[in-house]
Chain A
Amino acid sequence: MSGLNELSAPMSVAPLHPSGQQAIRHGRIEIRGLTKQFGDSDVYRNFNLDLQEGEFVSIFGPNGCGKSTFINLISGMIPIDFGTVLYDGKTIAQTRLSYVFQNYREALFPWMRAISNIQYPLKILGLDKKTQSRRVEELLAEFNIQIDLNRYPYELSGGQQQMVSILRALITDPEVLFLDEPFSALDYEMTLFMRERLQHVFLKRRNTMILVSHDLEEAIQLANRVLMLTRRPTRIAETVVVDVPWPRDAKSLTSPQFVAIKSHCLEVFSREVARRSDVGTGSGSD
């Protein structure tokens, strides 16, 4: 019964690689002609972008340029006006995507224990109970989580809650994991710790990660590639490749290579912010 269920589940979940290490994905993410209007202002107008699956991509740009809107669009969270988004040739609906929200307090389910929160996406996929718990156990074993998951979310610290959110997003083994300013509500100490945990997740799982951050240091530290966005209508000002070796701890943040990348990004950013006067007003908040 359980075996059958597993096979006939509407969206089967790929088994873990025996070593726990995922093979690096080679698909492409193709965004073509992406267009989105809010009211009568274009946030995205005929926007094209190619990304490599299995990479960690950060998105950084001026306030209100539509960073969050971008991942909301390509994750299917809000509808696209025009254009296509394909993940390795598949549509948004055909692709396993997960989303980590900025506000973990409003994203976790407070009526469920942390462990049930993590398990919940599997329940939606229609897996049987046994498979659900087995997969949760596997995930927890993989990441050596030091959190009492039998507590309710509101009994955990902010960092622990966001870790639970990330685990909940990972449980379905998504092809792409979207993170919308996931650590911006945490204090600096916790942020540094969580960045290391997230790198650990990335290096082990090799899910494609797409991170929106308002913190340049964070955007660079975590990414293979930083997309620097312009003001609206949004374009890519520059794609900055970060080839600092992994894992990148607090020490990496002060290495000359890192500092050089950061100052270059800052230059691009300042240029884009200054462009406001040329274009006039026309940016709102995102």
Chain B
Amino acid sequence: MTRLSPTQTTGAGEQAPPILRESVAVSPTKAELRWFKRLALSRFLQVALGPALVLFLWYAASALGFLNTRLVPPPDATFATTWIALTQGTMIYDLTQTLGRVLWAFVIAAGLGVPIGIVIGANERLYRGAEFLIDFCRSTPATAMFPLFMLVFGLGDQGKVALAAFSALLIIVFNVAYGVLNARKTRILAARSMGAGRIRIFADVIFLETLPQTFVGLRAGVSLALVVIVVAEMFIGGMDGMGHRIMDDQMSYNLKDMYGSLILSGALGYCLNYAFLLIERHFVHWAGR
């Protein structure tokens, strides 16, 4: 097992964390296999320790009556309610609605952001010109743009997706452009010395050279898209999605469902990040090497 930390959020311009990879596999002996299994088990226990501790404290505190049950319901009741909401209620529907919006926003942001980033990064003067603008927009809180986007795109899904896509786009553009601009010159020189033309150098060298930084941007982009979508679901009209559900639970004082929704929203974000790390590890196996 290699260690991944999907909770790690990476900001723009940050180097991708080194991704450890197993060295080339040799068929393991039985003893090695046993050892490896024990290692995997102990890793799992280490990872599980934190959540187990939190659950235990939650359970103990509510059993001993330390918690105000009007604010924090006991864990067993919370999980039971969540289970029912998942299996018989509408929580799955809300989850998929949110996920769908995040993915739409992400696809739009990546589809536009990667080419734009490449074009801007390839031209240093263009980059200098666009740098301030992108940085400024990136620093403007996405939530401050709600009214504007509501005005332009309406209260439906379009507005939410557009706003999330816009926010993710800026992070992606910035990271890709930064990556292209800072591509190692040696490899470009090497390709040029072999007689490669501009387009080939771009496709074969610069694009791949930039891929680790591009993935940093994509991962940060999808995380931000989730945040924006959930908040948008809370405050911009609409009848579904995790944000809407959480807000609804709070107003109707359905705390067990609210805690369950919080945990599942967290799980959604975690899974998205983890999925991206797995994709990244597969496609950018050389990152950090």
Q: Which residue of B lies closest to A75 (CB)?
A: B193
Is there a chain B Cβ closer than 8 Å to A64's Cβ? no
Which residues of chain B come closer than 8 Å to A121, judged between CB atoms? 194-195
Does chain B have a CB within 8 A of A111?
Answer: yes
Are A107 and B190 in contact, CB atoms less than 8 angstroms apart?
yes
- Interchain CB contact under 8 A, B200 and A124: yes
Asked if A47 lies at the interface with its beta carbon under 8 angstroms from chain B, I say no
Q: Please tell me if the beta carbons of B190 and A101 are within 8 angstroms of each other in the complex.
A: yes
B286's partner among A98, A103, A152, A172 (CB-CB below 8 A) is A152
Also in contact, A98 and B193, with CB within 8 A (given A107-B187, A111-B208, A111-B286):
yes
- Bound together, the chains give a CA A108 to CA B289 distance in angstroms of 12
A247–B211 Cα distance when bound, in Å, is 45
In the complex, which residues of chain A have a beta carbon less than 8 angstroms from the beta carbon of B72?
none
Chain B residue contacts of A155, Cβ below 8 A: 23-24
Name A60-102 residues within 8 Å CB distance of B. 75-77, 97-99, 101
Q: Does B193 contact A97, Cβ atoms closer than 8 Å?
A: yes
A110 to B205, CA, bound (A): 10
Among B184, B190, B208, the one with the most A-chain Cβ atoms within 10 Å of its Cβ is: B190
Given contacts A152-B285, A154-B286, A155-B24, A124 and B184 within 8 Å (CB-CB): no
> What is the bound-complex CA distance between A99 and B187, given in angstroms?
12
- Which interface class (under 10, 10 to 19, 20 to 34, 35 or more) fits B? 20 to 34
| Alpha-carbon separation in the docked complex, A96 to B200 (Å) | 19
A152 to B208, CA, bound (A): 15
Tell me which of A77, A97, A106 contacts B187 (CB under 8 A). Answer: A106
Question: Does A49 make an interface contact (CB < 8 A)?
Answer: no
| Chain B min CB distance to A127 (Å) | 12
0 or 1 for each of B154-184: is its CB under 8 Å from A? (1 = yes): 0000000000000000000000000000001
Say yes or no: A151-B186 contact (C-beta < 8 A), given A75-B193, A110-B286, A124-B196.
no
- A7 touches B (CB below 8 Å): no
Within 191-223 of B, Cβ neighbours of A (below 8 Å) are at: 191, 193-196, 200, 204-205, 208, 211
Residue in B23, B24, B187 whose beta carbon sits within 8 Å of that of A109 in the complex = B187
A145 interface contact, C-beta 8 A: no
Contact between chains at A101 and B186 (CB < 8 Å)? yes
Q: Which residues of A contact B184 (CB under 8 A)?
A: 106
Q: Which residue of B lies closest to A101 (CB)?
A: B186
Interface residues of B in 130-166 (CB under 8 A from A): none
Q: B23: which A residues are within 8 A, CB to CB?
A: 155
* Chain A residue nearest to B194 in the complex (CB): A121
Query: Shortest CB–CB separation between residue A264 and chain B, in angstroms?
Result: 34
Q: Does A11 touch B at the CB level, under 8 Å?
A: yes
| Contact code string B35-51 (vs A, CB < 8 Å = 1, else 0) | 00000000000000000
B24 and A151 form a contact (CB under 8 A):
yes
Q: Is A125 an interface residue (CB 8 A)?
A: yes
Contact of B186 among A75, A106, A125 (CB under 8 A): A106
Shortest Cβ distance from residue A69 to the other chain B in the assembled complex, whole angstroms? 14
Given A151-B24, A154-B289, A155-B24, are A120 and B187 also a contact pair (CB < 8 Å)?
no
State A11–B205 Cα separation when bound (angstroms): 22
- Contact A124/B191 with A109-B205, A110-B286, A154-B286 known, Cβ cut-off 8 Å: yes
Among A101, A110, A155: residue with most chain B CB under 10 A = A110
Q: Which residues of A contact B208 (CB under 8 A)?
A: 109, 111
Closest B residue by C-beta to A126:
B195
The answer to whether A120 and B186 have CB atoms under 8 Å apart is no
A residues less than 8 Å from B204 (CB atoms): 109, 120
Contacts of B195 in A (CB 8 A): 11, 121, 124-125
**B267: chain A residues within 8 A (beta carbon):** none
CA distance A155 to B196 in the complex (A): 26
Question: Is B189 located at the chain interface by the 8 A CB criterion?
Answer: yes
- B179 → chain A, closest Cβ, in Å? 14
Q: Which single member of B189, B200, B211 contacts A77 (CB below 8 Å)? A: B189
In the bound complex, residues from chain A placing their C-beta under 8 Å from that of B24 are 151, 155
- Of the A-B pairs whose beta carbons lie under 8 Å apart in the complex, a sample of 27, sorted by A's number, is A11-B195, A76-B193, A77-B189, A97-B193, A98-B193, A99-B189, A99-B190, A99-B193, A101-B189, A101-B190, A106-B184, A106-B187, A107-B187, A107-B190, A108-B187, A109-B187, A109-B208, A110-B286, A111-B208, A111-B286, A120-B194, A120-B204, A121-B195, A124-B191, A124-B196, A151-B24, A155-B23
Besides the known contacts A108-B187, A110-B286, 10 further A-B residue pairs in the complex with CB atoms under 8 A apart: A77-B193, A98-B194, A101-B190, A106-B187, A110-B289, A121-B195, A124-B195, A152-B286, A154-B286, A155-B24
Closest 7 CB pairs of A and B: A110-B286, A154-B289, A106-B186, A121-B194, A99-B193, A111-B208, A124-B196
